[in-house]
Amino acid sequence: MGCINILSGYSQNSHQKIDDALNILVLNLMPNRLETEHQIIDLLQQTDLNINLNFCRMASHHIKHFDSEIIEKYVTTKDVFDNHFDALIVTGAPLDRKHFNEVDYWNEFVDFINWRKTHVDTCLFSCWAAWAAGTIDGILTGQQLDQKIYGVYTTDGITMPQSRYFTIPKNNVKATVLAGNDTIGATLIFDSNTNSYYVTGHLEYGTKTLADEYFRDVKKGLATKKPSNYFDNQDHPINSWHTDATTFYINWLNQFTSSK
């Protein structure tokens, strides 16, 4: 089992980098930051790699809840601008019903996406971040949707949860579409120019994450349909994507570790 040496974030367990480890930066845009940290850490542990892990946030984002706690535990994108990382993960965010210029940290996000081209060796963007980063990179054109793509879907042999109000039609992609279909659009895109993967779903989601989202919406009185291909006949969630998520992370990171 590799060592996950966490230098910032709620899950911080160290104040010093370890040698001969992969240096990974996670821009955590999700409102449930601690849960998202655990999900990403769980996947990284499956790789058996030694990793120095930093969780960062947008400096210009107005934080609604636990602001002082998050400010204390998270570094900002500005704090890491002079550093180099082997890999970058950018999480999703519940922003896909907004226009990009309505996002309070959009300008900083654009700068960050451009910064990573010279400071990061490989990148993984999830859900909204995949759409946003791909738009900034000029490799895709997404479309907002009125009906949510919601559930667990398999496209071209890879299974993952989807929870989004946007789609990226395969014909709107200038990079390599590794997975997708005409119903839910591209789900996995690779751009060799920036060594970046754009994943429209959530490989990192835990077994109950979609269920928690669904029952939260039901409690609010929202007319939310059940996520497709997810619950069994007794409304118990079934995790059918863990193996694919683990395999993806292992393959993604192992190809960059020969020198570590």
Residues at the binding site are 148, 163, 216
Three-state DSSP at 241 gives coil
Binding residues for substrate, by number, are 148, 163, 216
Q: Give the count of beta carbons closer than 10 Å to the beta carbon of residue 208.
A: 12
In degrees and rounded to multiples of 5, residue 169 shows phi and psi of: -55, 140
Contact 73, 28 (CB under 8 A): no
Which of 202, 213, 236, 242 does the annotation list as catalytic? Answer: 202
Is 62 a catalytic site residue? no
- What tokens does 10 get? 């709620």
**CA count, 13 A, side-chain hemisphere, 37:** 22
Contact 46, 37 (CB under 8 A): no
Is 204 a catalytic site residue? yes
The DSSP result for 114-131, as a single string, is: HHHHHHEEEEEEETHHHH
Which of 61, 62, 127, 242 does the annotation list as catalytic? Answer: 127
Strands 143-155 and 158-167, bridge-based pairing: antiparallel
Strands 85-90 and 22-27, bridge-based pairing: parallel
Is 35 a catalytic site residue? no
Distance CA 1, CA 49 (A): 7
Helices (H) and strands (E) in the chain, counts: 6, 11
Which of 65, 204, 213, 236 does the annotation list as catalytic? Answer: 204
Q: Which residues are the active-site residues?
A: 127, 202, 204
